[in-house]
Structure 1
Amino acid sequence: MTRYKTFQTADALAYALEHTDRFAGLDSTALTSEEFGDGNLNLVFRISHPDGASLILKQALPYARCVGESWPLSVDRARIEAEAMLIESQLCPALVPEIYHYDAELAVTIMEDLSDHQILRQAMVEGKRFPTLMHDMAVFLADTLFFTSDLYLDPAEKKQRVAQFINPDLCKITEDLFFLDPYCDHERNNYYPGFNERASKLWSHTALKAEIADLKYRFLTKTQSLLHGDVHAGSIFVREGSTKVIDAEFAYYGPAGFDIGSYIGNLLLNFCAQWGLMDDEDARNNYRRWILEGIDSFWNTFADRFTGYLAENTNDPSLNNLHWQSRLMQRIWHDTLGYAGAEMIRRTVGLAHVKDLDVISDHTRQLQAAGQALVLGEALVMQRRQLDNMGDVLTMLSGLVEY
């Protein structure tokens, strides 16, 4: 990769001018370039003009930014991200940012600026509600997971897609941070002061570790659908009437329930965090209820839409079988609950925390909220095969946590 170099702000500006026409006819001397990425892996620049024209330039670094050069990574993830987002944009164009240009050698992608949106995680920390969010995410996940699977694609095309999205470096991050580190005394783990006893109990929970092994094995071996691979509240931008899903660099063929569970797990993390975020009890209870009702609505919309696709758009005659399709939906459901629980666990004791919990100023409440997340996460993993529907899940949640 001889052309690769790490961009500075001036490099990003010059490259954007050369490879897009977003600023055609404008005074280029008035353009500004700023690097504002706060993620774990990449540089993110915003190039903007005073008249309002702007774009985002993202460059993959050859190492994990959150750790440093001691954790090298392939920059091929920039290609994977761009190609995954192009597929997503064909399936649900209103729900992903527009891609203007990408360069595999420089690991650069130029895309639509979403400055008029807000990161979902921050919005939920602030207690905001978005009426179309749950419907939009159900559409995004149903459409991307069904139409990239063997249910719809020709088998030869599906196998080519699997090869196209082999993503070993970023899958390794998921495999370690989701399924390994939280369940042992690993140096990468990061938990709150006073939380060490809870973490050590996790490390000796043999039955839970067996269930996590099952979830990991399914992640390693089940090439069901093209996953976004990182559907958390920091990868979703929102505004009134608009939802955009970004950051598909973890894209990979895996079990459909992984993406669905990652999303639900992040909603439940905020549900737990509200214990320390909202002081007013009525407001807190109302917001937590909105989250649970939203999860219920999200799953029902997803399941209805996906089941409709199964009935109308399954192209393989062997798979066009109602009894088998019902069994498939049950498997996706159980996977969804398991991966939701795994997401909650790893965000409390693993390397990558969530702002929802981190910004709680009262340390006692922070520990209580993190403890709630850990209890709920373990319950979802352990009980996923006994919970037949979302009503059972909500009943279980209300029994474990007062709200």
Structure 2
Amino acid sequence: MTTAYRALNDGTLPGVLSALPDVRARLGGAPESWTVQEVGDGNLNLVFIIKGPAGAVVAKQALPYVRLVGDSWPLPLDRSYYEHMALSEQARHAPGLVPKIHHFDRGLALIVMEYLSPHIIMRKGLIRGTEYPLFAGHIAEFMAQTLFNTSALALPAAEHKQRIGAFAGNTELCKITEDLVFTDPYRIAKLNRWTTPYLDDIAAEFRRDEPLKIKVQERKLQFLTSAEAMIHGDLHTGSIMLTPQDTRIIDPEFAFVGPMGFDIGAVIGNLLIAYYAQTGHEERIGSRNAYRHWILLQTEKVWRVFTKRFLELWDASRTGDAYMPELFTGPEGAAAFAAEKQRFMRKLLTDSISFAGIKMIRRILGLAHTEDLESIKDPPLRAKCERQALTLARRLILDAERFSGMNEVTHAARAVLGSR
């Protein structure tokens, strides 16, 4: 029997959860003793923290519209189904790096999951200047495991195609990305916003920049057609909760089978945004130089560890229908395969760098911005940080193929900051 949908609130949610024996046991006590707090600060959903005498859980419910905009922008509730499916798949391949699911109700578009404490959203930690020594290794492991193990490098063709089909219906969430990431920042769009009037000139420049728009549309075509692996689809520093010892990836409702570099680029691009935003958060000029350096070291480490782990998985699990082992035997075959793996990773680096630049631009000239920059109260100072990020982003897109390593990306990032 399917539960009829209704938007829940702090008064009605306890009644729903009390009917779930496992969840009720986790919370303890009677529903009347539970506290419910709605904490959703994202763009799409309701998020509740429910605490009882014995413990706590998080309940996330999809709304039938974009929360950031209102009911003038309807959205299908089935996005919670794709999120649940993605979380389940990610938990299989990267256990301990996503929250545990306690219950899923497709009719209510409701996921009840592990309450993460004392974790905070990574973006908030970056604003505070907090270092997370295990983050780079954890996110690299998550991406290596989920991207490799859901690709045709690891899977038989039939299983890979089944996964493509399973996520094929998540079209409305993909459409949000297609419009807000790849299209709207390069045209006059109703929902665009930026720090005006300070960025009016560069916003207009980007709308007139034909070479830039061509490169971005090449990546949009890749996003539309390249079914490489199951991707998170929105893997930024607002979709990561962590402590110095633990990292969890949340909110994969944009998941589908797409280009691997989109996830990697999202992580890299958001780290680079945080790098430039430090100017707006330091107590005095230069007081966050060491932290800026730390951010760029993490940017390099994410790619370095990801590359190492991805290639290790590939060497250990040549079980997919792509690059079948019997085709590459003997010394010559081994050498050819080794060279192909390096070519594959170089292309993935190029893809990731380009997607990173595109993600940076959308967070400054499009609809949904980042707290890193938005929390800078002084508009001219905020615009200065944003202009630096936009300058680097444009180069990452236009010159993606010229970068031979992530260290060259971080060098370019420093060069832009140095020219301030």
For the aligned pair, the TM-score class normalised by the smaller chain equals over 0.9
Q: For residue 15 of structure 1, what is the aligned residue in structure 2?
A: 16
Q: For residue 204 of structure 2, what is the aligned residue in structure 1?
A: 200
Q: Secondary structure at the match of 2:96?
A: helix
Q: Secondary structure at the match of 1:10?
A: coil
1:368 CA displacement: 0.4
CA contact (8 A) 1:299 1:390 kept: yes
Q: Which amino acid in 1 is paired with 2:399?
A: Q
1:394 CA displacement: 2.1
1:376 CA displacement: 1.1
Which of 225, 237, 240 aligns to 1:236? It is 240
1:20 CA displacement: 4.3
Q: For residue 191 of structure 1, what is the aligned residue in structure 2?
A: 194
1:46 CA displacement: 1.3
Q: Secondary structure at the match of 2:346?
A: helix
CA deviation vs aligned residue, 1:49-81 (integer Å, no higher than 9, x gap): 1x3511011111111111111111111110100
Q: Are 1:401 and 2:417 counterparts?
A: yes
Q: Are 1:32 and 2:48 counterparts?
A: no
Q: For residue 366 of structure 1, what is the aligned residue in structure 2?
A: 382
- 1:2-401 equivalences under 5 Å are 3-24=4-25, 25-49=28-52, 51=53, 53-166=55-168, 167-194=170-197, 195-316=199-320, 318-319=322-323, 320=325, 321-401=337-417
Distance verdict in 2 for CA 1:17–1:349, change over 3 Å: same
Q: Which amino acid in 1 is paired with 2:24?
A: F
Q: Which amino acid in 1 is paired with 2:204?
A: S
CA deviation vs aligned residue, 1:17-72 (integer Å, no higher than 9, x gap): 212423325233211112121111111111111x3511011111111111111111
Q: Which amino acid in 2 is paired with 1:177?
A: L
- CA–CA separation in structure 2 for the residues paired with 1:98 and 1:153: 25
CA contact (8 A) 1:182 1:345 kept: yes
CA contact (8 A) 1:20 1:100 kept: no
- CA–CA separation in structure 2 for the residues paired with 1:317 and 1:154: 5
- CA–CA separation in structure 2 for the residues paired with 1:45 and 1:318: 43
CA contact (8 A) 1:20 1:101 kept: no
- CA–CA separation in structure 1 for the residues paired with 2:107 and 2:128: 39
Distance verdict in 2 for CA 1:140–1:20, change over 3 Å: farther
Q: Which amino acid in 2 is paired with 1:12?
A: L
- CA–CA separation in structure 2 for the residues paired with 1:201 and 1:172: 25
1:287 CA displacement: 0.7
1:280 CA displacement: 3.0
CA deviation vs aligned residue, 1:145-178 (integer Å, no higher than 9, x gap): 0000000011111111111112100000000010
1:2 CA displacement: 7.3
1:260 CA displacement: 0.5
Q: For residue 331 of structure 2, what is the aligned residue in structure 1?
A: none
RMSD between aligned residues: 1.4
1:391 CA displacement: 2.2
Q: Which amino acid in 2 is paired with 1:161?
A: R
CA contact (8 A) 2:29 2:54 kept: no
- CA–CA separation in structure 2 for the residues paired with 1:241 and 1:2: 39
Q: Which amino acid in 2 is paired with 1:36?
A: V
1:365 CA displacement: 1.2
CA deviation vs aligned residue, 1:68-115 (integer Å, no higher than 9, x gap): 111111111101001110111111111100000101111110000113
- CA–CA separation in structure 2 for the residues paired with 1:174 and 1:347: 12
CA contact (8 A) 1:258 1:335 kept: yes
- CA–CA separation in structure 2 for the residues paired with 1:188 and 1:98: 35
Identical amino acids, percent of aligned pairs: 38
Q: Which amino acid in 2 is paired with 1:130?
A: Y
1:361 CA displacement: 1.9
CA contact (8 A) 1:185 1:200 kept: no
- CA–CA separation in structure 1 for the residues paired with 2:269 and 2:109: 30
CA deviation vs aligned residue, 1:324-383 (integer Å, no higher than 9, x gap): 222211111111001100010011110001011111122221110010111111111111
